[in-house]
Amino acid sequence: MAETTAPTSARSRVHRVIVVGGGLAGLMTTLRLCEANVPVLLVSLVPVKRSHSVCAQGGINASVNAGEGDSPAIHMEETVYAGDFLANQPPVQGMAQAAPELVHLLDRMGVPFNRTPEGRLDFRRFGGSLFHRTAFAGATTGQQLLYALDEQVRRYETIDVTDSRGISVPGEKLVHKLEYWDFLSLVRDDHGVAIGIVAQNLRSMRIEAFRGDGVCLATGGPGAIFGRSTNSVICTGTAASAVFQQGAVYANGEFVQVHPTAIPGADKLRLISESARGEGGRIWVPRDARDARRPADIPEGERDYFLERLYPGYGNLVPRDIASRALFQVGFHEGRGIFNPSTGKNELEVYLDLTHLDPILLKKKLSGILEIYQKFEGEDPYTQPMRVFPAVHYSMGGLWVDYETQGDGSLVAQSPRNHAASIPGLYAVGEVDFQYHGANRLGANSLLSCLYGGQLAGPALSAYQSALARSAADLPASLFDREKARESERFDDIMERAQGEKSTENAHVLHAELGEAMLRDCTIERHDAALRQLLAKLDELGERAKRVRVVDRSGRANQTAQFVRHFQNMLVLARVIAAGALERNECRGAHYKPACDPEVTPGAVGRDDENWLRTTLAVASETGEPKFIRSFDYECAGRTLRVTDEVDTSLTQPRARRYQQAGEANTAGRGPSRVAQGSRSERTERGHGEEEG
């Protein structure tokens, strides 16, 4: 296969913007840039259709189903409520307001959303909501959305770049795509402004610098830091870590979502989507902790549907942080997980039961995830309850990004500040940023935040480029050669490190130790003593990483050398996450410290709005350690702006979260007191009432 190279032209300098990442966030950003006639260099670690967005299963939220009394305002409230009020509210409001039109746009692009018998878009419930708000395409929604946007971007790969006179530039297309290229670092000018990137071709291992009038990272989350997660194995967080080390601010790193339902795999954990519970799936354990019968043989009266018992208002659809803690409490603290006769122990597993539902409807709406379970577990989920357990799933934290509001609290649509990171010229969108989810992500808001973020970031980058006094294409080559040489030296060091030494380390062994330590000490429950022990372990791993020897000496497709670089960057982000967890002494969303829980520790503060309703802002110190700050200044489009850690709560007042009673707190009494589980078409087809329209 011929090596893909960057676009060049002897007769013109095309002023491109660089988008790193080919998932939904990167593709939407690219589309919006192309609509503004801005040429894009799209750089992807893997083929675009293999981006992690393809793994999303359950759906995308939009308050289209107004017949239930839903609205963008309620969607916004439920989002910030689920996030324990740590998300800045104006961007969340903008996302909720844009969601219905985004879903209709995707529908027009050809996304095969499920339909009701009347032909309307179908919607299911997801956790943390009382409304059927989640549009879905079976159980492969992410794949369908990704393919639809990929088709749109491919059109621009055939459209010529035009100059200021409207004349086509020979050989130059609006989108030039580089796949199998690994982002290494930003290229910055002498004033610290991002003017391009350095990347490595993963086939030839050639390192190159690319010019860009702005750089947007859409590189996903850092799930691989926790060993095996539901994320793809490519989700190492290496790009975010690299720019953090170059000076970018990282925000709310300690907030990592653990999804309550996953199954094991040799390479990663497989998600069993929340859509299974949205369609009526029920979680339970046997009342007798030593019950060794097959689950189908355990009578209804001998089952403990503990989520329904603890949270009767929401039942199996409480937010993920609450559900995961409940599963951990039952399985770990109470020892009532599924009994394993071969070991004589109770596992940290519970049953997710769909066997009471119509198999025809299950095949129509959930076949994708049920096939995954059947393939990897060898059991039929249509007739036997699935065995599931909590797994690391999503990072609410990420690179700090900005936004600009008008007097009424709405966003300025064309502002260059939208999704701008703290390094001038750098933007971030998707899971790599911290913007929309606060302390806990509401289910099915992930795809929405990627697309909405891309809709904002594209025009923002276009406005930023328009305000530049000089294009990156006009800057001296020495700036780019300097950063390229630095990254080449770093790679040579990886290749030559510990060669000839007798005592060396293996990066994959170190990564396994990292994942085990992070899972044990920095997921569902956090304890200060364990976090300090974890930070010491990270120090140890950092020292041992200096003795890692690359056994593969190949000059082509050297995945071992690439992994060593990613592992070094994972260690940096792991420290940001662990140190942030140690720093935050309260219980908020996915960050839970039993020592701060009044129900566990009398006199504890719990959720501390007075002192901790703020964003954790981390910067890299000269020693490489994360340093936490309360404010900073950054430049954007010629303006110097002051940023603090204060959270914008101007639209919805913070209050304690209570999910025991439906509608008690999150919708402020504006929604129905209770909405039955299952999608609209399911209720209609079963004869449980007419479709609410």
Q: Name every residue whose Cβ is closer than 8 Å to that of residue 297 and which is 6 or more positions away in sequence.
A: none
Distance CA 153, CA 675 (A): 39
The torsion of the CA quartet 287, 289, 295, 300, rounded to 10 degrees, works out to -10
Tokens of 622: 């000269």
How open is the CA angle 298-300-673, to the nearest 5 degrees?
Answer: 145
Tokens of 225: 């830091």
Cα 51 from chain centre: 12
CB atoms within 10 A of CB 640: 8
| Beta carbons of 43 and 183 less than 8 angstroms apart | yes
The DSSP line for 497-538 is TTTT-SS-B-HHHHHHHHHHHHHHHSSS---HHHHHHHHHHH
Active-site hit among 16, 133, 320, 387 = 320
Q: Which of 147, 245, 66 is nearest to 619 (CA)?
A: 245
Tokens of 449: 């935040």
Q: Which helix (H) or strand (E) holds 479?
A: helix 477-496
Distance CA 290, CA 305 (A): 17
Say whether 320 is catalytic.
Answer: yes
CB atoms within 10 A of CB 613: 18
Q: In the sheet where 398-399 sits, what is the strand order?
A: 398-399, 250-251, 617-620, 626-629
Q: What is the DSSP letter of 66?
A: G
Q: At what angle do helices 528-545 and 559-583 cross, to 10 degrees?
A: 150
Q: At what angle do helices 507-521 and 559-583 cross, to 10 degrees?
A: 20
Cα separations in angstroms, 113 against 41, 109, 137, 435: 31, 11, 4, 27
| Beta carbons of 186 and 194 less than 8 angstroms apart | yes
Please classify residue 689 by burial: count the beta carbons closer than 10 Å to its beta carbon, then call 0-12 exposed, 13-18 middle and 19+ buried: exposed
Q: Which of 56, 43, 41, 157 is nearest to 111 (CA)?
A: 56
Residue 251's φ and ψ, nearest 5 degrees, are: -120, 140
Please classify residue 691 by burial: count the beta carbons closer than 10 Å to its beta carbon, then call 0-12 exposed, 13-18 middle and 19+ buried: middle
Please classify residue 218 by burial: count the beta carbons closer than 10 Å to its beta carbon, then call 0-12 exposed, 13-18 middle and 19+ buried: buried
How open is the CA angle 671-677-682, to the nearest 5 degrees?
Answer: 115
Catalytic site residues? Answer: 320
